[in-house]
Amino acid sequence: MRAAKNQSFLARLRFACAGFAHGARAEHSLRIQLVAFALVLIALVALRPEPAWWALVILASAGVIAAELVNTAIEHLADHLHPEVHPSIRIVKDCAAAAVLVASVAALAVAAAFVVHLVAR
């Protein structure tokens, strides 16, 4: 087991990359979000919006991906600590999934505002 404190920046970066890679391998929904993010980046490059739109879209996308990763971490921890079905664990997992839903709806709202902006140009 690794010590959590006083690690070098590079060591902490490796831990974060390992977590990201695990999430991408293990979670279908995270892979979908990553593909969607890549498509969004392509659209931004093609449409060349103002920098504020880049910031909004990237922040919204990052929020969804971060929520997916936190949801994955919570699910794995809950399943490890309490593998059998339990009402309290179900609530924890449902709330984590709801966080992903909220972030996704917010990202869709940003996308809708962007489309309205493009049409109004």
Read off the pLDDT of each residue in 40-45 and give the average, rounded to a whole number.
96
| Long-range contacts, stretch 100-109, CB < 8 angstroms, 24+ apart | 100/29, 100/64, 100/67, 100/68, 100/71, 102/67, 103/60, 103/63, 103/64, 103/66, 103/67, 104/64, 104/67, 106/60, 106/63, 107/60, 107/61, 107/63, 107/64
Q: Residue 54 in contact with residue 5, Cβ under 8 Å? A: no
- Sorted by where each begins, the domain ranges of the chain are 9-120
Q: Which helix (H) or strand (E) holds 36?
A: helix 28-47
Q: Is the backbone of residue 48 left (phi > 0), alpha (psi -120 to 50) or beta?
A: left
- The single-letter DSSP state of residue 6 is S
Could you say which of 1.10.3720.10, 1.10.287.3610, 1.20.1090.10, 3.40.630.30 is the CATH number of the domain covering 9-120? 1.10.287.3610
pLDDT of 4 > 80? The answer is: no
pLDDT of 10 > 80? The answer is: yes
**pLDDT tens-digit series, residues 30-42:** 999 999 999 999 9
